[in-house]
Amino acid sequence: MTTTSTQVAIIGAGPAGLALASKLDRLGIDNVVIERRSQEYVLARIRAGILEQTTVDFLKDIGAAGRLEQEGIPHHGVRLAYNNRIIPVGLGANTGGKVVTAYGQTEVTKDLCDLRAASPNPTIYEAENVSLHDFDSARPYVLYDEQGVTKRLNCQLIAGCDGYHGVSRVSVPESAITTYEKVYPFGWLGMLADVPPVSPEVLYANARRGFALCSMRSWTRSRYYIQCDPDDKVENWTDDMFWDELKRRLPDEVSDNIQTGPSLEKSIAPLRSFIAEPLRFGRLLLAGDAAHVVPPTGAKGLNLAFSDVHYMSEAIETFTSDGHEDALSRYSERALARVWKTQRFSWYLTNLTHRFSDDPFDQRVKEAELAYVTTSQAGLQMIAENYVGMPL
């Protein structure tokens, strides 16, 4: 067994782990990133791409926003559709000028990988049998296998950024963690295609046949979703079937203008809300999907991961400079306060835009809520403030 040391061991080389690593590089804090997948696998993952201004600012701060500033598409509003009508919700007009930016998570990951390649600190890909040890003490360490050789990494802190199915959260004793979860009775069938977007802004539709979403990755690439049964299979849907169903769920003025094309990717994602508390267990800190999952309706998952990294990097900087562990506990408190507010909005928007109850009363109440929030200045401001993201 070979043994090395660092200040912070980061588990997971997704956007959260790579962003934290780059921020710590800037702060002069040694770190090692350990990832069980290959870099090619990480870069191939297709995810959402609406960035809050706080996320854009963070990427600028760590030097990973060069392409984003050139290729990102600002969205000054979102659109809500129901009863064959479209109601625009101005973002900047209701938030003092704040907007969101369309830029794919895949592109964010590429930018972060390029930035990490210039770091003097290592990233270990295809690490096997990763396990976390003694994080309830002052001397935590990580064991992993690299090319058949078991290695030990001693550290001061472990940052768990390895997603919902990663090793970090499940390493915590059940008695030390409380989880909250809501599983929604539907999924999203998504299609990515090289066709111009039908709407210049994200459009959420509550239709008789179910929810639909129109979004973009660029001016030539679109991402569309329709609500489906969570047990449905991608193989049940041809491209033509998807396009036909999408059109049925959109107002006429939109469906008549959709340009169709072959899919680049189709997938079905279940929807859930999940939070684990606290986010700090001794010298182990959790961030991103390792700590919480939001339904994709409000495009908050990636943005919450970056707000976690913002708070975590501040806590790590304070801890490594003065050794006081209070900063680690404050990380959990600060991050969770924003997580719960964001979780509330994602839950609200999901319930507002989907149909999953046979009770006609429920649907009429949703329609009344849509009518209220789209005709009330207070309602428009509430949607806009939450959509652009809570302040850090």
Residue 204 catalytic? yes
| Contact (CB, 8 A) for 62 and 71 | no
- For residue 89, is it within any domain? no
Q: Which helix (H) or strand (E) holds 346?
A: helix 326-353
| Residue 146 lies in domain | 2-49+102-180+272-350
- For residue 107, is it within any domain? yes
Residue written as token pair 């684990």: 276
What is residue 44's predicted lDDT score, i.e. its pLDDT?
86
What is residue 358's predicted lDDT score, i.e. its pLDDT?
82
Q: How many CB atoms lie within 10 A of CB 288?
A: 31
At 45, give phi and psi (nearest 5°).
-70, 130
> What are 323-342's pLDDT values in tens digits?
889 999 999 999 999 999 99
| Contact (CB, 8 A) for 82 and 375 | no
- For residue 229, is it within any domain? no
Q: Give this prediction's pTM.
A: 0.95
> What are 226-266's pLDDT values in tens digits?
999 999 999 999 999 999 999 999 999 999 999 999 999 99
List the catalytic residue out of 75, 98, 292, 354.
75
Residue 339, domain CATH = 3.50.50.60
List the catalytic residue out of 98, 292, 300, 354.
300
- For residue 16, is it within any domain? yes
Residue 387 catalytic? yes
Compute the distance between CA of residue 89 and CA of residue 248 in angstroms, rounded to an integer. 23
List the catalytic residue out of 278, 296, 310, 366.
296
- For residue 307, is it within any domain? yes
- For residue 92, is it within any domain? no
Report helix, strand or coil for 225.
strand
List the catalytic residue out of 184, 311, 331, 387.
387
Residue 372 catalytic? no
User: C-alpha distances in angstroms, 106 versus 42, 68, 112, 217, 320?
Assistant: 9, 12, 10, 10, 32
- For residue 69, is it within any domain? no
Residue 300 catalytic? yes
Q: Considering all CA atoms of the chain, what is the largest pairwise distance in Å, rounded to the nearest integer?
A: 66
Residues of the chain with pLDDT under 50: none
- Burial (CB < 10 A; 0-12, 13-18, 19+), residue 131, is exposed
List, in order, residues 6 or more apart from 316 with CB less than 8 Å away: 8, 24, 27, 29, 157, 159, 285, 327
Q: How many domains does the chain have?
A: 1
What is residue 368's predicted lDDT score, i.e. its pLDDT?
93
Q: What are 165's two structure tokens?
A: 């199915």
List the catalytic residue out of 204, 224, 225, 331.
204
Q: What are 375's two structure tokens?
A: 């005709």
Sign of the Cα pseudo-torsion (39, 42, 44, 50, in order) = negative
What is residue 363's predicted lDDT score, i.e. its pLDDT?
85
Compute the distance between CA of residue 373 and CA of residue 98 in angstroms, rounded to an integer. 19
What is residue 47's predicted lDDT score, i.e. its pLDDT?
72
- For residue 305, is it within any domain? yes
